[in-house]
Amino acid sequence: MVGSLRDLAPIILVIGFFQLVVLQQPLPDLVGVLTGVVFVVLGLTFFIFGLEMGLFPIGESMAHAFARKGSASWLITFAFALGFGTTVAEPALIAVAAEAAQVAANGGMIENNPDARSVYASGLRFTVALSVGLAIVLGVVRILKGWSIQYMIMGGYVLVVIMTALAPKEIIGIAYDSGGVTTSTITVPLVTALGVGLASSIEGRNPMIDGFGLIAFASLTPMIFVMAYGMIV
């Protein structure tokens, strides 16, 4: 809890300074704000504790188990399912997809009714989830083969630039935001643990060099897939 308070202190100081010194206004609903801060500190504390106790160990242990089993097909299947499942459940992506559907309906790009908005939001979510699943598979294959991440990432962003020039302008911002919201509270811990555990289990692989980088693929591919989704839909 002390660590959580230390991490949140800069945010609290910045908000307090601009509210009291720059805007020169008292905090609205001071009791509610302080109660909210307490809940945030408690939530962050339990979240970090849960990661260290549960998600990181299970991700690493499963990576070690798949490496010992020696089945590349099952490992790749697990990597895709992990990327797809964690992304579909990502709260930030759910919020962005719902907001994008509402804006698309208000802008006349889709029908403004609950069914059309739901279909659009679900299509966006599943498109991003599919892209992240394939991204994790690509990252796992890179670890297995020992490929260099630099050229793969540069090639990916060249494709992003090309897609940006071709995609409808209405989808570009959503696509770029989708790349950010996929790498959030659920996806990052499990995917990071999977990469580090897998690199630690394979002879000749360095966990520092080869174990990280899966998150970069998970941020990159949604931009490409969502722009393609916008071009199709």
Lowest-pLDDT choice from 138-142, 149-153, 163-167, 207-211: 207-211
Claim to verify: residue 81 and residue 157 sit in the same structural domain? yes
Same domain, 40 and 75: no
Kindly state whether residues 48 and 129 are assigned to the same domain: no
* Residue 62 maps to a domain: no
93 in the same domain as 15 = no
In a domain, 184, yes or no: yes
Quote the CA–CA distance of 192 and 185 in Å, as a whole number.
12
**10, 46 contact by CB (below 8 A):** no
Are 109 and 123 spatial neighbours (Cβ–Cβ below 8 Å)?
A: no
Q: If 0-12 CB within 10 Å is exposed, 13-18 middle and 19+ buried, where does residue 189 land?
A: buried
* Tally of domains within the chain: 2
**206 and 142: one domain?**
yes
pLDDT of residue 198: 84
pLDDT tens for 21-74 read 888 888 778 788 889 888 988 888 887 787 777 777 777 777 777 777 777 888
Kindly state whether residues 36 and 74 are assigned to the same domain: no
Burial class (CB in 10 A: 0-12, 13-18, 19+), 41: middle
Are residues 175 and 207 both part of a single domain? Answer: yes
| pTM: predicted TM-score of the whole model, two decimal places | 0.77
C-alpha distances in angstroms, 54 versus 61, 86, 87?
11, 15, 18
CA pair distance 9, 106, nearest whole angstrom: 39
Question: Does one domain contain both 138 and 202?
Answer: yes
Task: Please write the tens of the pLDDT for every residue from 88-109.
Answer: 888 888 888 888 888 888 878 7
DSSP label at residue 148: -
CA separation for the pair 175, 165 (Å, rounded) = 13
Do 216 and 149 contact (CB within 8 A), yes or no?
yes
Inter-CA distances, 167 with 58, 84, 154, 163, 223, Å: 39, 24, 20, 6, 11
Parent domain of 25: 1-53
